[in-house]
Structure 1
């Protein structure tokens, strides 16, 4: 018994240091694990804090940028009134008074030609034809010239004017001038020529001889004498009528292409004029005859806005004078109270006419003023501002970014789209 007890004591005594070391090691490990857990918790809290700060910063940045990228789009539907027109109106040439409707006269000249085939030949005698400009450097007085006034060309040939005319007098140092058609005194190709200078034969031996002169516009052509393709009078008449129709359409298109913005030329507000002798017949090889037709288109031009305002005054009760226009104004029917075929357009000082048809009177929006009234206003005030514009039927407001509750301070950041009918 004592022996074993001693052994037990010795064994236990030998184990004691190892046990203490082990326990200390375990404590250190436990402390390390706890520390790691604590560090992880602190790391998570730190990351959450960073994300929170970053999110707040991003929101603040977006909020700040919204001031720089604030955009507003407003879609407006203007006031429109449908009317059926049958209005008798008067207009004065170049009228200045606000109460008077004005018109301007436009003149477009041109020519059209075509080839006509002949099936037979005939002895033909044709005189050369051309156009000249006669100048007056003699005095400020007008000079009358009778029909068939003789002009002597620089080629030594005599040509005659096709009509009587008045050459205007000088204005200051500027010569008076007028254009007139001429023809050769005799038939034959020898009267055909490149552009020429002319004197007035009847003034020879007087002071006027050197002070009146003429110059041709382009070549003088059409002179012929001999066998030539023959075209009957009936064929000529048909060809000339077709040329007149084609020329009138061409001149009308040319006129409409030149009309300044804001003006209107109704298709029936024109008058097409030709004069006797405004057509030429040029005989050529291959049994063909070239027929040329000259003419001039006169048109009455109106200011669209003033015309629309005049009509609105006549057909709308309590019209307040606001800016309006007529949509599809060209579809209205225009009719003059005088015979267009027999009138002299250049002498007309006033006209009476009728406009009829279905029309839309559309009120125009002063976009600059509208934008100014909206600058810096609250979104909730938009409806109240619209009440100041009775010519607006409705309007839709879109703000970007969507959370903004006020409108921009600069007009360039406001886009207005007005749904005007065409």
Structure 2
């Protein structure tokens, strides 16, 4: 029934309910219709109320704060929807196109080393022996001190040469004061006897670096051209004359005759002592920067000798003091040393490369270190003390290459070619596939270390 029909209905004139009114009086039959004029008035009032209500809503929407709330609300809804979409897409991507993950547990063994065991290593090794090589390096420190006077002096030049043995694999001793002759005929001598190592099995000459001193004083004894070749006059007429020789490694300087500034001996000694202490701190770090990545270096296997260079006087008021640390160290191949330890703790040898985890926890002690000539002795003996873990190294890139395109059931067969692997678990994606990706980029390998 339409709303307009009720516009023709009006209540009783007095607007009151009478208790005596009968049921018939309340009947719709007894409701008188409105006059046309009054009906139009009511319609107009109702329209006005609607207009006012709409106007108030419009005013509320024009309020900037309300507009901002509405806008923020819409942005929040879209932001939440965006996050949900991203999460959903990420989940789908992970399930359907994520990388295949291979979790590898490498072989590991704990080791505990005691000083009760004495080890021997050799420069020239035979099968089954632990070998070492000698790494040499030099570092220098300088200081400028104040001169304390002037005097007439005669100074002999000094510098470093490398003596080579191309004659044979046998080492050769050169006596104290052995002469080395420069191309200009000037003579330089070594102050102590030396042993020149024999040449290597690959033909590389044996060599040793030493300091030599000019026979005479004067600036004409200084040689600054590195690589200058020296002969050994004492070997003339011998087959060794052409196969034993030396080359200039560091400039020969300090030769001087005349008047120059001097420094107080106590001041000079103090400066030299301070420079040596400074160099001692730098020795291990300097050596490690020169060593290959495959070298294992222990602190007690480092041998250092200090050399005080001739004081250089730039003017009448100052003097340059130079100290050099000559470093030699017995270094081991990391894998060879680790495999030696592994042979002690593993009953059945496991093939493959092995590394020592936290080698800094192991302390090496050279036996009778003071009597060791590290450059010339054929062997050294030492002990180890400490605990660490041996971990077999897995070539993950080679493993990926062996797995690409293979059926998942071939995993065990592939693993058999890697004896350093204790266990493996593969999670292939997409999940419905039963083979590894066709590209190595689709395979991710994680190492599970249990020790």
State the TM bucket, normalised to the shorter chain.
0.5 to 0.7
Offset of 1:150 from its aligned partner?
Answer: 6.0
Corresponding position of 2:391: 362
Given that 1:304 and 1:325 are in contact with CA atoms closer than 8 Å, whether structure 2 keeps it comes out as yes
Map 1:291-302 to 2 at 5 A: 291-302=321-332
Offset of 1:77 from its aligned partner?
Answer: 4.2
* TM-score where L is the length of structure 2: 0.58
Corresponding position of 2:104: 76
Given that 2:109 and 2:345 are in contact with CA atoms closer than 8 Å, whether structure 1 keeps it comes out as no
Given that 1:105 and 1:298 are in contact with CA atoms closer than 8 Å, whether structure 2 keeps it comes out as no
Match of 1:109 among 137, 145, 159: 137
Paired residue secondary structure (1:314): helix
Corresponding position of 2:427: 398
Given that 1:144 and 1:165 are in contact with CA atoms closer than 8 Å, whether structure 2 keeps it comes out as yes
Corresponding position of 1:311: 341
Distance change >3 Å, CA 92–CA 130, structure 1 → 2: closer
Match of 1:270 among 280, 302, 315: 302
1:176 & 1:392 partners in 2: Cα distance? Answer: 42
Given that 2:148 and 2:263 are in contact with CA atoms closer than 8 Å, whether structure 1 keeps it comes out as yes
Given that 1:152 and 1:199 are in contact with CA atoms closer than 8 Å, whether structure 2 keeps it comes out as yes
Given that 2:301 and 2:364 are in contact with CA atoms closer than 8 Å, whether structure 1 keeps it comes out as yes
Paired residue secondary structure (1:344): coil
Given that 1:231 and 1:289 are in contact with CA atoms closer than 8 Å, whether structure 2 keeps it comes out as no
Distance change >3 Å, CA 223–CA 152, structure 1 → 2: same
Unaligned runs of 5+ in 1: 1-65
Map 1:213-362 to 2 at 5 A: 216-217=248-249, 219-224=251-256, 225-232=258-265, 234-247=266-279, 250=282, 252-274=284-306, 279-285=309-315, 287-315=317-345, 318=347, 320-323=349-352, 324-339=354-369, 341-362=370-391
Distance change >3 Å, CA 75–CA 189, structure 1 → 2: same
Given that 1:140 and 1:169 are in contact with CA atoms closer than 8 Å, whether structure 2 keeps it comes out as yes
2:181 & 2:419 partners in 1: Cα distance? Answer: 72
Distance change >3 Å, CA 96–CA 142, structure 1 → 2: closer
Unaligned runs of 5+ in 2: 1-93
1:363 & 1:219 partners in 2: Cα distance? Answer: 47
Given that 2:104 and 2:446 are in contact with CA atoms closer than 8 Å, whether structure 1 keeps it comes out as yes
Distance change >3 Å, CA 170–CA 394, structure 1 → 2: closer
Offset of 1:419 from its aligned partner?
Answer: 4.1
Corresponding position of 1:118: 146
Offset of 1:326 from its aligned partner?
Answer: 1.8
Offset of 1:376 from its aligned partner?
Answer: 1.0
Given that 1:147 and 1:163 are in contact with CA atoms closer than 8 Å, whether structure 2 keeps it comes out as yes
Structure 1 vs Structure 2 CA RMSD: 5.1
1:376 aligns with 2:417: no
Corresponding position of 1:59: none
Deviations 1:349-375 (A, max 9, x none): 232222222312334446556985893
Map 1:78-227 to 2 at 5 A: 78=106, 80-86=108-114, 88=117, 89-98=119-128, 100=129, 102-118=130-146, 120-123=148-151, 124-132=153-161, 147-148=176-177, 159-164=188-193, 181-192=211-222, 194-195=224-225, 216-217=248-249, 219-224=251-256, 225-227=258-260
* TM-score where L is the length of structure 1: 0.61
Deviations 1:62-112 (A, max 9, x none): xxxx9x9684112334454544432533323342423x3x22222313241
Distance change >3 Å, CA 259–CA 156, structure 1 → 2: closer
Offset of 1:333 from its aligned partner?
Answer: 1.0
Paired residue secondary structure (2:436): coil
2:182 & 2:169 partners in 1: Cα distance? Answer: 25
Offset of 1:335 from its aligned partner?
Answer: 0.9
